[in-house]
Structure 1
Amino acid sequence: MTEDLSLVCETYTGMTLDFRLITAEDISQVMLLERSAHSHPWRQSSFEDCLNGRQKCWLAEYKGILVGYVVVTHGGGDAELLNISVAPNYQRKGIGQTLLSHAVNCVKEKADMLFLEVRRSNRKAIALYEREDFFEVGQRKNYYPTANGHEDAILMARQLL
């Protein structure tokens, strides 16, 4: 993955985003965004693992405000998108697409395929992934917790070569 400490990207809506790797000082803000965006958020320790681990968590800031992040990892010729989130007040502005493009760029020289899981009910995310050349390769039964039990995940992949 790229070791650049920061990067500036523009969304298709013209927002200028500053990307940088997560630091220990960011964890509390990341957890606030994670809890606001997901019914069953990641644990804080999962983000802390990004500080020194094989996973990389890139934050996207707009005018100094954390608006999203993406977590990717790679190994053995494959890569996986572990988490991608956009703050609810900033959704539908191209941030998710920009984060996803950044994730692809981070791993494309180190992996042949990029995999991800997505809730079957998350139609907006599935549509985004399909627009970005991901395709369904399988399902994981009862993968995600819900308020009433579990929900299937769709396993998707994108060729990087």
Structure 2
Amino acid sequence: MTFRLEPLRRKDVGRCAELERILFPGDDPWSESAFRSELNAGHYYVGAYVDGWLVGYAGMALVGRPPSCEATVHTIGVDPLWQRKGVGRALLKALLDKVDELHAPVFLEVRTDNAVAIGLYEANGFSRVGLRRRYYRPSGADAYTMAREPA
């Protein structure tokens, strides 16, 4: 089966929160209201859908206006059944395509122990620019801050 990317639908915030609980059980998974708040704030969110069913999501905030805007990736999550099938890569590409339209730098945080995500980000032009000790709660896991220069 293939997936299709489209703007994240408000009716899918419950599914996003469900996936958060599965993907980030040792930390503070986002709630439905957190996703609703992100959408209400006008942040850029995209979903990956298979026959109308959400299998992944990604979102970021854009601040400022060209030529001096920047982006921060807030979240990327993929249903474990759909991992390693290109969904995360496609979601990240959708975010980066939007950023590239604006010629903006983009930043994100990633757990230092998430080698798969770090590899994906590095393959897409990100580099490590900092370390945030005990960034994730309640686990206390560290995070790298990564950045990608404007395309």
Q: TM-score range by the shorter chain?
A: 0.7 to 0.9
Work out the CA distance in 1 between the residues paired with 2:141 and 2:13: 28
Identify the match of residue 126 of structure 1 among 118, 124, 136.
118
Structure 1 residue 71 corresponds to structure 2 residue 59: yes
Q: Taking structure 1 as reference, are residues 146 and 52 closer, same or farther at Cα in structure 2, changes over 3 Å only?
A: closer
Identify the match of residue 88 of structure 2 among 60, 75, 96.
96
Structure 1 residue 44 corresponds to structure 2 residue 36: no
Structure 1 residue 61 corresponds to structure 2 residue 49: yes
Backbone CA RMSD of aligned residues? 1.6
Work out the CA distance in 2 between the residues paired with 1:24 and 1:64: 13
Structure 1 residue 28 corresponds to structure 2 residue 9: no
**TM-score, normalization by structure 2:** 0.88
Structure 1 residue 86 corresponds to structure 2 residue 72: no
Structure 1 residue 105 corresponds to structure 2 residue 97: yes
The aligned counterpart of 1:18 is 4
Structure 1 contact 24–51 (Cα < 8 Å) conserved: yes
Stretches (4+) displaced over 3 A: none
Once the 2 structures are TM-superposed, how far is the Cα of residue 57 of structure 1 from its aligned partner? 1.8
The aligned counterpart of 1:115 is 107
**TM-score, normalization by structure 1:** 0.82
Give the total of aligned pairs: 145
Higher alpha-carbon deviation: 80-89 or 24-33? 24-33
Work out the CA distance in 2 between the residues paired with 1:115 and 1:27: 24
Q: Taking structure 1 as reference, are residues 160 and 31 closer, same or farther at Cα in structure 2, changes over 3 Å only?
A: same
Give the match's secondary structure for 1:20: strand
Q: Taking structure 1 as reference, are residues 27 and 66 closer, same or farther at Cα in structure 2, changes over 3 Å only?
A: same
Q: Taking structure 1 as reference, are residues 45 and 152 closer, same or farther at Cα in structure 2, changes over 3 Å only?
A: same
Work out the CA distance in 2 between the residues paired with 1:34 and 1:80: 19
* One-letter amino acid of the counterpart of residue 45, structure 1: S
The aligned counterpart of 1:151 is 141
Gaps of 5+ in 2: none
* One-letter amino acid of the counterpart of residue 51, structure 1: L
Percent pairwise identity:
37
